Structure 1
Amino acid sequence: MPRLSRRLRAILASGLRPLLLTAFVLAGFVTYSDAATPVQQPSPVRLGVMKGPETEVAEVVKTVAAGKGLTVELVTYTDYSQPNAALARGEIDANAFQHRPFLEAEMAAKGYDLVSIGYTMVQPMGIYSRTYKQLRDLPDGARIAIPEDLSNGGRALRLLAERAMIGLAPGAKLTPTPKDVMINTRKFQFVPLPADQVAGAIDLVDAAAINGNYARAAGLDPRRDTIAVENRRSNPYGNILVVRRADQDRLEIHTLLEAFQSPEVAAFLNTHFEGAFLPAW
Structure 2
Amino acid sequence: MKKKILAGALTAVLAVGLLAGCGAKETDKDNGEVAELKPITVAASATPHAEILEEAKTILAKQGWDLQVTVFNDYVQPNDVVESGDFDANYFQHITYMNDFNTQKGTHLVNAGDIHYEPFGIYPGTKKNLADLKKGDVIAVPNDTTNEARALLLLQDNGVITLKEGAGLSATVNDIKDNPYGVKIQELEAAQLSRVIGEVAFVTLNGNYALEAGFSVKADAVAYETSDSEAAKNYVNIIAIKEGNENNEGVKALVDVLKSDEIKEFINNKYDGAVVPFE
> TM over 0.5, yes or no?
yes
Residue of structure 2 in register with 1:182 after alignment: 177
What is the aligned length? 237
1:139-218 superposed matches below 5 A? 139-141=133-135, 142-218=137-213
2:4 alignment counterpart: none
Q: Which residue of 2 aligns with 1:262?
A: 260
Matched residues, percent identical? 32
In structure 2, do the counterparts of structure 1 residues 80 and 195 end up closer, same or farther at CA, with 3 Å as the change threshold?
A: closer
1:49 aligns to what?
43
Query: 2: CA distance between counterparts of 1:154 and 1:185?
Result: 19
Give the structure-1-normalised TM-score: 0.71
The one of 268, 277, 280 aligned to 2:275: 277
Q: Distance in 2 between matches of 1:219 and 1:92?
A: 29
Shift of 1:255: 3.3
Question: Per-residue deviation at 1:143?
Answer: 3.0
What are the within-5 Å matches in structure 2 for residues 62-211 of structure 1? 62-67=57-62, 69=63, 71-78=65-72, 79-129=74-124, 135=130, 137-141=131-135, 142-211=137-206
Q: CA deviation at 1:249?
A: 4.7
1:139-159: CA deviation from partner (whole Å, max 9, x where unpaired): 353432222333332221021
Q: Give the letter aligned to residue 194 of structure 2.
A: A
Which digits, 9 at most, give the CA deviation of each residue in 1:38-60, with x for residues without a partner? xxxxx945231225232221122
Please give the alpha-carbon distance, in whole angstroms, between the structure 1 residues aligned to 2:241 and 2:199. 42
What code does the residue aligned with 2:205 have? I
**Greater displacement, 58-67 / 177-186:** 58-67
Q: Is the 8 A contact 1:232 1:280 kept in 2?
A: no
Runs of 4+ off more than 6 Å: none
Deviations 1:209-228 (A, max 9, x none): 12333333333221111111
For residues 12-51 of structure 1, give each alpha carbon's deviation from its aligned partner in whole angstroms, at most 9, with x where no partner exists. xxxxxxxxxxxxxxxxxxxxxxxxxxxxxxx945231225
Which residue among 241, 244, 255 is the counterpart of 1:243?
241
Q: Which deviations, in whole Å up to 9, do the C-alpha atoms of 1:41-94 show, x marking residues without a partner?
A: xx9452312252322211222333345x35143241425433323323333332
Deviates more, 1:49-58 or 1:218-227: 49-58
Unaligned runs of 5+ in 2: 1-36
> Do the aligned partners of 1:60 and 1:264 also contact (CA within 8 Å) in 2?
no
Separation of aligned partners in 2, 1:106 and 1:254: 23
Q: State the secondary structure of the residue aligned to 1:209.
A: strand
Contact 1:232 1:279 in 2 (8 A): no
Q: Is the 8 A contact 2:43 2:71 kept in 1?
A: yes
CA shift for structure 1 position 97: 1.6
Kept in 2: contact 1:96–1:242 (CA 8 A)? yes
Other structure's SS at 2:170 match? coil
Deviation at 1:131, TM superposition (A): 6.4
Is the contact made by 2:120 and 2:206 (CA closer than 8 Å) also made in structure 1?
A: yes
Given that 2:44 and 2:90 are in contact with CA atoms closer than 8 Å, whether structure 1 keeps it comes out as no
**Pairwise CA RMSD:** 2.9
